Structure 1
Amino acid sequence: MSAQVKGASDDDETVGMRVVFWSWFSIVAVGLAVMIILPLTGR
């Protein structure tokens, strides 16, 4: 039981890290895309 609980908690931590990583990655990607696209469309 304890091993399963520990494994589940580890999985939750990995999922949380993935969610945080992808959320920050999407924010940075969108920010860069906007900074690159706006000047091109503005001109």
Structure 2
Amino acid sequence: MCVLNLSLNVMNHYHFQPHTHTHTHNHQQVKFNNLSTAR
């Protein structure tokens, strides 16, 4: 699932470049939260 999100994120980066900055930040934050809860 994470890999799918990553590829979608890359596709979004190429198609909607202005929008990506906030989207990538949110994705990294969620990823960090998942790592924190995984422990």
TM-score computed with the length of structure 1 as normaliser: 0.48
**Equivalent in the alignment of 1:19:** 34
What is the CA-CA distance between 1:8 and the residue it aligns to? 0.1
**Equivalent in the alignment of 1:8:** 23
Query: Which of structures 1 and 2 has the bigger CA Rg?
Result: 1
Report % sequence identity.
4
TM-score computed with the length of structure 2 as normaliser: 0.53
Structure 1 segments (4+ residues) deviating >2 Å: none
Q: Which has the higher contact order (CA 8 A, sep 6+)?
A: 2
Q: CA RMSD in A?
A: 1.0
Residue ranges of structure 2 left out of the alignment (5+ in a row): 1-16
